[in-house]
């Protein structure tokens, strides 16, 4: 329980795990014979297109957009086991032997203590997390300064009220908050789906002067991702335009 927040019973709250795994393809793969590479792409695409039962997968390209990572696998599941199994299957493909994981983030959905289950829908009113299929995704880990948790709960809720009102100016930007307390290194892993990069850039710009932003400790690295089906994604990662 967050310090100063009212008590909560989470046993009956439906929650999803979210996992963002960023992959880098070693250059040695691109030097292999074309037929071997084609078969490797097909095998990995099959794993991503047919994930284990209980897991939902979305794939995104970062080719040319971020140093050290070419694609993202975003997995949502009700338990950790399907996520673990999916990544074991990825590693077990021929192409998987040439993949490194420079970044990976794990989080869990939960009802926001500032919004609550009685909100009329929207992010924070549920512990479920599902992709909406928008073409762009922006992902980053987030940690607040410890001073934030020393504020009385009512004060934090007041500050977050301004933050939420600014976010509501951009209804087409969908946020997926993953809570990482105790299960990963950051406190949160945030992901925003948008129809255009400018929408998210303008939202972040408007949030900068907000009172809540003063309590930000960490919000990097930031990943700009383009939604793409696995087969086409792997062609781009390999350098096939």
Catalytic residue, chosen from 140, 149, 170, 179, is: 140
Output the CA angle 30-32-35, nearest 5 degrees: 105
- Cα distances from 87 to residues 51, 81, 117, 237, in angstroms, run 10, 10, 33, 18
Does residue 20 carry a catalytic annotation?
no
Kindly report the backbone phi and psi dihedral angles of residue 25, in degrees, each rounded to the nearest multiple of 5, phi listed first: -90, 125
Answer whether 173's CB lies under 8 Å from 192's CB.
yes
DSSP for 194-225 reads ESSHHHHHHHHHHHTTSGGGGGEEE----EEE
CA–CA distances in Å: residue 54 to residues 19, 37, 57, 230, 236: 14, 29, 10, 19, 28
Cα–Cα separations (whole angstroms), residue 70 to 17, 31, 60, 168 = 23, 17, 9, 32
Q: Which residues are catalytic?
A: 140
């Amino acid at each position: 329980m967050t310090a100063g927040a009212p008590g909560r019973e989470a046993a009956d709250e439906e929650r999803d795990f979210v996992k963002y795994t960023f992959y880098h393809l070693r250059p040695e793969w691109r030097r292999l014979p074309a037929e071997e590479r084609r078969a490797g792409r097909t095998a990995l695409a099959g794993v991503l297109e047919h994930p284990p039962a209980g897991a939902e997968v979305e794939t995104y390209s970062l080719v040319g957009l971020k140093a050290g990572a070419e694609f993202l696998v975003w997995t949502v599941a009700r338990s950790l086991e399907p996520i673990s199994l999916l990544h074991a299957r990825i590693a077990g493909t021929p192409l998987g032997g040439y993949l490194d994981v420079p970044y990976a983030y794990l989080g869990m959905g939960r009802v926001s203590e500032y919004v609550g289950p009685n909100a009329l829908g929207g992010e924070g009113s549920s512990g479920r997390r599902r992709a909406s299929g928008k073409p762009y995704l922006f992902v980053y880990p987030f940690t607040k300064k410890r001073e934030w948790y020393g504020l009385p709960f009512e004060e934090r809720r007041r500050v977050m009220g301004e933050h939420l009102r600014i976010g509501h100016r951009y209804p087409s930007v969908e946020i997926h908050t993953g809570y990482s307390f105790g299960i990963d290194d950051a406190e949160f892993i945030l992901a925003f789906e948008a129809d255009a990069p400018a929408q998210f850039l303008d939202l972040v710009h408007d949030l900068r002067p907000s009172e809540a932003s003063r309590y930000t400790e960490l919000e990097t690295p930031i990943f700009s991702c383009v939604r793409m089906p696995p087969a086409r994604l792997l062609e781009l990662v390999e350098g096939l335009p």
